[in-house]
């Protein structure tokens, strides 16, 4: 897909997610919108994986460490055909498998996440197994920037650097906001780039809401013999004007008025992209 098509897809995924959260009256709205472009880039352009090859031992793996942004993941997976879109009507309903954090009961989801600070370590294990098995798959994991306060992240980062896991790419959705406010005020984890360099990573800083930068960086080979960390500069709530850059949209559900306004904005974006 070309960049414009990917941008259109990301806008459509934002709209589907916005509607799903409004209908279910629950979801991590700002977090979903923040990383929509990253997920679309991964699932449409980067991951060597399809619904048909999901059990192939050579498939690329994606572990969503920031599991709370599950609504956008569900929509991207459904759109890619991992399960019927109609399944998502049950999101957060009684006895639904589509709950508020990823589980491996859902086709397309590798492992259960939700408690922060696990995804990088899981990815280290998967990447180590890839090295041991001489398979050339790549492991991608998406973390939040607030998540960087979890000590287990740094245990895993140390191991990734120690074992030179160049088949591992960690992405930080660096929107600088967490549930209580700015990450620099809640618990300052900066400078993240320097920290990951010190832990043995090749660090690349990009605009994480820019599709061409995402695709180019995520697709580029990693000759460094180091794990890669993509510090993806993003905007929480991206795509809906009144949610952008607002910590209180972390898991806020839109009111009816907000919902309608958000739909209008996203439909305008989609219309604009279609007309370009």
Q: State the minimum distance, in angstroms, from the CB of residue 61 to another protein.
A: 8
Q: List the beta bridge partners of residue 177.
A: 182
- Residue 261 structure tokens: 């306004």
Does residue 151 bind another protein (CB under 8 A)?
yes
Helix residue ranges per DSSP H, 116-255: 119-132, 151-162, 183-186, 192-198, 211-219
Burial of 241 (0-12, 13-18, 19+ CB in 10 A): exposed
Residue (120 or 172) nearer to another protein, CB: 120
Residue 75's contacts (CB-CB under 8 Å, 6 or more residues apart) are: 13, 16, 17, 20, 88
Residue (28 or 118) nearer to another protein, CB: 118
- Count of positions on this chain that bind another protein (CB under 8 A): 29
- Among positions 46, 47, 159, 229, the unique one binding another protein when judged by CB under 8 A: 159
Does residue 149 bind another protein (CB under 8 A)?
no
Q: State the minimum distance, in angstroms, from the CB of residue 24 to another protein.
A: 22
Q: What string marks each residue from 36 to 65 as x (binds another protein by CB under 8 A) or -?
A: ---------------------x--------
Give the 3-state secondary structure of residue 144: strand
Q: How many CA atoms lie within 13 A of 80 on its CB side?
A: 27
- Residue 199 structure tokens: 């832990």
Q: List the beta bridge partners of residue 181.
A: 178
Does residue 107 bind another protein (CB under 8 A)?
no
Give CA–CA dist 273/28, Å, rounded. 26
Residue (158 or 268) nearer to another protein, CB: 158
Q: At what angle do helices 3-24 and 29-41 cross, to 10 degrees?
A: 150
Does residue 112 bind another protein (CB under 8 A)?
yes
Does residue 260 bind another protein (CB under 8 A)?
no
Please count the other Cβ atoms lying within 10 Å of the Cβ belonging to residue 146: 25
Q: What string marks each residue from 67 to 106 as x (binds another protein by CB under 8 A) or -?
A: ------------------------------------xx--
- Among positions 115, 188, 220, 248, the unique one binding another protein when judged by CB under 8 A: 115
Interaction site with another protein (CB under 8 A): 57, 103-104, 110-115, 118, 121-130, 132-133, 151-152, 155-156, 158-159, 162
């Amino acid at each position: 897909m070309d960049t414009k098509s990917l941008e259109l897809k990301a806008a459509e995924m934002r709209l589907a997610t916005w509607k799903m959260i409004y209908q279910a009256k629950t979801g991590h709205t700002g977090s979903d919108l923040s990383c929509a472009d990253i997920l679309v880039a991964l699932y449409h352009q980067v991951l060597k994986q399809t619904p048909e090859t999901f059990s192939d031992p050579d498939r690329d793996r994606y572990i969503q460490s920031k599991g709370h942004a599950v609504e956008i993941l569900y929509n991207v997976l459904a759109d890619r055909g991992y399960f019927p879109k109609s399944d998502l009507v049950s999101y957060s309903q009684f006895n639904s498998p589509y709950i508020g954090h990823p589980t491996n009961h859902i086709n397309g989801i590798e492992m259960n996440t939700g408690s922060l600070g696990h995804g990088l370590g899981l990815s280290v294990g998967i990447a180590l197994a890839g090295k041991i098995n001489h398979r050339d798959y790549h492991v991608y994991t998406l973390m939040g920037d607030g998540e960087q306060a979890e000590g287990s992240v740094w245990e895993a980062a140390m191991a990734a650097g120690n074992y030179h896991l160049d088949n591992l790419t960690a992405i930080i959705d660096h929107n600088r906001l967490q549930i209580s406010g700015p990450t620099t005020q809640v618990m300052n984890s900066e400078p993240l780039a320097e920290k990951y360099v010190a832990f043995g990573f090749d660090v690349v800083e990009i605009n994480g809401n820019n599709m061409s930068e995402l695709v180019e960086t995520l697709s580029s080979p990693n000759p460094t013999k180091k794990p890669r960390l993509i510090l993806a500069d993003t905007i929480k709530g991206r795509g809906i004007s009144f949610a952008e850059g607002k910590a209180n949209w972390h898991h806020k559900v839109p009111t009816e008025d907000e919902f309608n306004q958000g739909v209008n904005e996203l439909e305008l974006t989609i219309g604009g992209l279609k007309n370009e």
